[in-house]
Each structure stands twice: as C-alpha cells, then as structure tokens.
Amino acid sequence: MPVKFTHHASRVTNTMSKASIFAILLSLLTACSPGTKVTRAPESYVVVLSMDGFRWDYPDRYYTPNLDKMARTGVKAASLQPSYPTKTFPNHYSIATGLYPDHHGIVQNSFYDPKLDRVFRMGVRSAVEDSIFWEGEAIWETAEMQGVKTASYFWVGSESNETYRPGFRKFYEDGFSYVQQIDTVMHWLSLPITQRPRLVMFYFNEPDGVGHNSGPESQETKKVVEELDQLVGMISARLKGVEKKEKIRINFIIVSDHGMGFIPEGNQVFLDEVIDLKRVRRINGGNPVFILEPDSGYLEEAYRLLSTTRHIRVWEKGKLPDHYHYGTHQRIPALIVEADSAWGVEIRRRAKGEGIKIEYTRGTHGYDPVNKDMHGIFYATGPVFKQGFIQPTFENVAIYGLLARILGINPTKTDGNFMTINGVLKGY
Ligand code: AMP
Ligand code: ZN
Ligand code: ZN
C-alpha cells in the first residue's frame, strides 16, 4: 500500500459553511497562533544530505554512533550503487534526476560538447550555471513546477539558471563551514509555512578530500569520518528541535555520491607514456577514467596502444559493458580509458622548473559502479520510513522516485525503478 498524505482541506465536508472552510484555509496558510484548535495539514518534509565520497563501509571501520542510530531508528542500505563514471558531478545529478549520466548529460566532471563547441568544467562558474549543460529534470524542478518549495545548499546542478530552480539556494564555495550550512538549513525549515521549503538538499565536500589524500583506510580519514558523524548527530538533534517547535515531522536522508578505492604506491599508468597526447584532440576526466578523442588518423593506433597496455582498459564508444549504461550521449568521445581496480591512470605534468612531477594520490573513484569500493551510503529516518530496516544495495537513480513519492508529486520518467527501494517505506 502506498503511503498517503491526506491534505486537511480534502477532508473538509460539504456540510461545512463557506465561512468555516475559509477559517480553516486561513489557519493553514498562516502559522497557528496559540490556542488555535486546527491542526496543520500533515505535509511531508524531506531533508537530504550528501557527504562526498563517504564509502559504504566507513561505519563498519570507524566509530559512527550517530549513523548507527539512524540505522536503528530508520533505514540503512547495505550500500548505494553509484552511476558511471563514479565521479562527483555525474552522480549528484543522477541522484537529483534519476537518470544515468549518459542520459542527463553530465558525462564527467569535465567534458566537451561538440554541438555547442563548449567545454564544461566543474570549477568554471559560467558552465556550472548554464542550464544548457543540465539535461533531464531534477527533483527540485519537478517539485517547483508542482508548487512544492525547495532549497539547495551546494547540490550539484542546482546552480543552473533553469526556469524552475530551488527557491532558496547557495552557490558552491570550497571550505565553507558545515555548521553555518546546518544553521541555514534549520532556518529554512523554520520559516513561516507559506515560505518554508518542503525539500532541502545540502552537500558536504568531505570525506572525499581526505579519502583522496590519505586513502580510505587511514587515521586521517578515520578522524574526518568521525567528525562528520558528530555533525550527523547535531543535524538529527536540531531537526528534532524544529519538529517540536514547528509541529511538523521531517524525513532525513543521508547519501553519498560514490565511495573511495585505495591505490598502492607505484600502481600507476601514465597515459603520456602510452599514447602521443599531441595527437589527441580532446581529453577530459581524471584518474582513474579519461574520455578522449584522438585525431581521426590516430584513432586506431591509439586504441591498439591502449588496449595492449597492462592495468588499464579501453573501450570504443558504444562498446562498454551494459551495466555501465554509458556510451550514447554526444558528449562522450571516441574512447574511454579506465584503470583497473586499485590502479591509477594519470597524465604526467611538467611542473615549471621542477622536472617531472609525478602525481600520486592514495585514493580515488571513477571505476565500475559494480566495484564495491565505489559504493556509497544511504540512511533514512522519519515518519515515512520503517524502523531498523536494512535495504539491499540499490542504484542511486532510484532516489528521485523515492523523493517524489514522499513529497506527493508526480515524477517524470527516469532510469530508476522505485520498486527497487519501496520497501524502505512504511506500508510496503
Ligand atoms: P571529484 O572528487 O573530483 O569527483 O570532485 C569532488 C570535488 O567537487 C569536491 O572536492 C568539491 O570541491 C567539488 N564540488 C562539489 N560540488 C561543487 C559545485 N557545486 N561546484 C564546484 N565544485 C564542486
Ligand atoms: Zn564525489
Ligand atoms: Zn573525489
């Protein structure tokens, strides 16, 4: 049975006078004053937090009492399977749209669009804010089109100049205070009911950074993960405070965009040692997955060289394994190169006056979504969720449909299957 959210007004019977209907509607529109008997419509609220690069098994390795409590009082997924490539921009937008990157157009953190003759890079504001790059329909668009207010604090894709965009939004800043973000989220949820967003999505950029620098299994990563868990405790407590004060119930979901894989030192392939990059027109992406367009006369040779090199694999566009769901979008060029699990692929850069600088990072992501190292997390608590329920691993493209269901809005067609995840809701 689907969870139903009955709006108070729909229960008003014909026998009531116009004046009393008007009084009820007015009291729903304005905050209830003390002594008012009318209870507010049981509207659903959803807060979604993404913690970048939070690998599925960090709570098993490190001390995370607050996430563990969410699992006990709500839902925890065995793991959350990302979409390909398992990078930040493609995946946050897959969560928002329910589409694979091949279908929403953010095919990498950086890419070239041959029709527009423009390059997209996550650090270039003029690209990130241009709706031309963001295809598909994000959950905030679906919601806003149907009159449901939304807010985003740094969610990838929400900065674009679409017609239907979050009514409240903050543009990305590196190193911004998480506590300040939490303050703003609580403020949004405490606004008068006529202004208050029903969907709030926000984003923390760790533990991705520390996972890259120190690897998933390190004292540094442990420290950051445990600090983030403390923040989860703070958010849960403050949401409870808002629920009490505003007399509302809030659903709280935590996800991550992907996990983090460890690369032992020395496990690196340098692309510039394999192919002649001067004969490659375009190359985008980053360790461990690059998308490239060799000069037309060099395509076959480049493919041969790459395919005979150990510890990397190469595919021609359209020939990737089916479960990658990747290879039809016009922004994907002729070749896709990916390192083997636990291996890195880099382009050596010549640092000015320093000779060859070999980059080595202890952790990365971008590999096959089935590779368990790439899996993220999904936790959820609140009135619509079961308690103590373990959800089997599912694909992140299903989350859009879940959010639409909780908000009571009509979803658009997506790649996700709500049925893979409906068991998390009470009544299913
Ligand atoms: P990556 O690990 O390369 O897939 O990307 C992670 C990085 O993306 C984070 O460290 C952030 O700095 C960056 N990032 C996340 N959201 C945004 C955004 N909305 N705009 C620009 N950069 C972002
Ligand atoms: Zn990420
Ligand atoms: Zn990362």
* pLDDT-derived band at 358, boundaries 50, 70, 90: low
pLDDT at site 43: 80
Closest listed ligand to the CA of 171: 1
Can you tell me which atom of ligand 1 is nearest the CA of 208? 2
Dump pLDDT digits (tens) for 300-345: 999 999 999 999 999 999 999 999 999 999 999 999 999 999 999 9
Question: Average of pLDDT values for 235-262?
Answer: 98
DSSP letter at 424? Answer: G
Can you tell me which atom of ligand 1 is nearest the CA of 159? 19
Q: Is it the case that residue 91 has pLDDT exceeding 60? A: yes
Q: How far is the CA of 208 from the centre of ligand 2 (A)?
A: 6
Q: How far is the CA of 53 from the centre of ligand 2 (A)?
A: 5
Q: Which fold has domain 268-360?
A: Gyrase A; domain 2 (3.30.1360)
172 CB within 6 A, ligand 1: yes
DSSP letter at 290? Answer: E
Structure pTM? 0.90
pLDDT at site 360: 82
Which protein residues have their CB within 5 A of the ion that is ligand 3?
Answer: 208
Dump pLDDT digits (tens) for 367-412: 999 999 999 999 999 999 999 999 999 999 999 999 999 999 999 9
Dump pLDDT digits (tens) for 183-227: 999 999 999 999 999 999 999 999 999 999 999 999 999 999 999
* pLDDT-derived band at 6, boundaries 50, 70, 90: very low
pLDDT at site 35: 36
Token pair 């997924």 is found at 77
Q: Could you tell me how far CA 49 lies from the centroid of its own chain?
A: 9
Q: Is it the case that residue 357 has pLDDT exceeding 90? A: no
324 CB within 6 A, ligand 1: no
88 CB within 6 A, ligand 1: yes
Question: Average of pLDDT values for 151-169?
Answer: 98
CB atoms within 10 A of CB 192: 10
Question: Domain locations in the chain?
Answer: 18-261+370-424, 268-360
Report d(CA 55, CA 368) in Å as an integer: 15
Q: Is the fold of 18-261+370-424 the same as that of 268-360?
A: no
Q: How far is the CA of 207 from the centre of ligand 1 (A)?
A: 12
Q: Which fold has domain 18-261+370-424?
A: Alkaline Phosphatase, subunit A (3.40.720)
Q: How far is the CA of 155 from the centre of ligand 2 (A)?
A: 11
